[in-house]
Amino acid sequence: MRLSDVNLTDPDVFVPGVPHEMFSVLRREAPVHWHEGDGRETGFWAITKHADLKHVSRTPEIFSSAEKGIMFRDPPPQELAAIRAIMISMDPPRHRQYRNLVNKVFTPRMIERLHVRVAAMVERIFDAVAERGECDFVEEIAAPLPMQVICEMMGVPDEDRRAIYDLSNRMVGFDDPEMREDAAPGGIDYNLASVEMFSYAARLAEKARRHPGDDLATALLAAEVDGERLSELDFNSFFLLLAIAGNETTRTVTTNGTIALLEHGDAIDALRRDPSLVATAVEEMLRWSPPVHYFRRTATADTEIRGVRIRAGDKLLLWYDSANRDEEVFANADRFDVRRDPNEHLAFGIGEHFCLGASLARLELRMIFSGMLRRLRDLEIVSAPRRLRSNFINGVKEMRVRFAPG
């Protein structure tokens, strides 16, 4: 493959799987590469090396999340205020203020308290499918746990959880016609889903104010930033972020991690012989198939990366798939190794925007894979997984699996 063949803007390129050959060419020939736009949007700098991604992530004063958000497409000016209200699209000092607030309620103690409940959820998930001997892995095994955990933490009642799950699917599937109700290019379903999610968050906040409980919604409404409570927009934006980031990403790693295990039979055999390897295996799954392909930054000043001049206003896309296979950091980077240690993957990001829910995601992943090893014998994929049409989320829509019943 030649450098001129690289095309990261077309979601269809990602449907067969991550285009690792393209990223290999970029790392080798042009680690800071100017990539032309797609005809609707301007081009961007593709950042593909581990060290460069760390540098950009740790320099928010030059590489901004708030300037134009974290997506490839430039948002309309009227949407910027709402985008900047989401913590993932904030810059310091505002980001640090809000992160400190959330850290006060999203604590290791709260995560620790979830252990027993998560274990019970995992058992119910496998109880529901065990006797049948087959299921859709995404819908019935990977998806329920993260959505149940987030909804329980936020105080979302059981009867509303399916609706939140469907809304989050519509929001991350904006480039996949099958995931949109309008099913038309350039449709408005993403915005409609955002409005519905915000509307639900407002009702949840009102319920938490009237009937405070031992949940994250109540704690967030009581917390303060510089003496001020969260605004309605702030609370709704945080709920939206949790519903998507806390659900979609863990579900995606669960599915892609299972694919990796089944494609590397020696790996799953090693875990069955020694279940203590689950922790390092989860880290390798995160490295091997990170849930998010890229996040965007916008340069706020003229600067350089590897001697390449970056101008103020330029957009940069940080490609996590590529950084996690950087040959300068990972020995045998194209080998799936459940014993890999150390493992300096960047699937959770680094710097200001290191994933707030990393410890929760790790807990869920370790428990779902431990449960899978115990409960599903002779697991195999029945037909090729159907991947999400997206160059943003590394998702799988459906994966039929078969296993020994009982």
CA 403 from centroid of its chain's CA atoms = 28
Maximum distance among all alpha carbons in the chain?
62
- Tens of pLDDT, residue by residue over 117-163, are 999 999 999 999 999 999 999 999 999 999 999 998 899 999 999 89
- Tens of pLDDT, residue by residue over 76-116, are 999 898 899 899 999 999 999 888 888 876 677 777 788 99
Residue 216 one-letter amino acid: L
Which among 124, 122, 126, 120 has a CA at the least distance from the CA of 405? 126
Question: Is the pLDDT confidence value at 30 over 60?
Answer: yes
Q: Domain tally for the chain?
A: 1
Dist. CA 132–CA 168, nearest whole Å: 28
pTM as predicted: 0.93
Query: For residues 189 and 255, which has the higher predicted lDDT (pLDDT)?
Result: 255
The secondary structure element, H or E, covering residue 363 is helix 358-375
Residue 75 one-letter amino acid: P
Average pLDDT score over the chain = 92
Question: Is the pLDDT confidence value at 6 over 70?
Answer: yes
User: What's the pLDDT score for residue 183?
Assistant: 43
Sign of CA dihedral 68, 72, 76, 82: negative
User: What's the pLDDT score for residue 181?
Assistant: 56
Q: Which position has the token pair 């089944």? A: 262
- Tens of pLDDT, residue by residue over 326-382, are 999 999 999 999 999 999 999 999 999 999 889 999 999 999 999 999 999 999 999
Which among 332, 398, 319, 392 has a CA at the least distance from the CA of 11? 392
- Tens of pLDDT, residue by residue over 256-294, are 999 999 999 899 999 999 999 999 999 999 999 999 999
Domain region containing 389: 3-402
User: What's the pLDDT score for residue 187?
Assistant: 47
The secondary structure element, H or E, covering residue 364 is helix 358-375
Token representation of residue 395: 């998702």
Residues 219 and 105: beta-carbon distance below 8 Å: yes
CATH number of the domain at 322, please.
1.10.630.10
Dist. CA 221–CA 205, nearest whole Å: 8
- Tens of pLDDT, residue by residue over 291-323, are 999 999 999 999 999 999 999 999 999 999 999
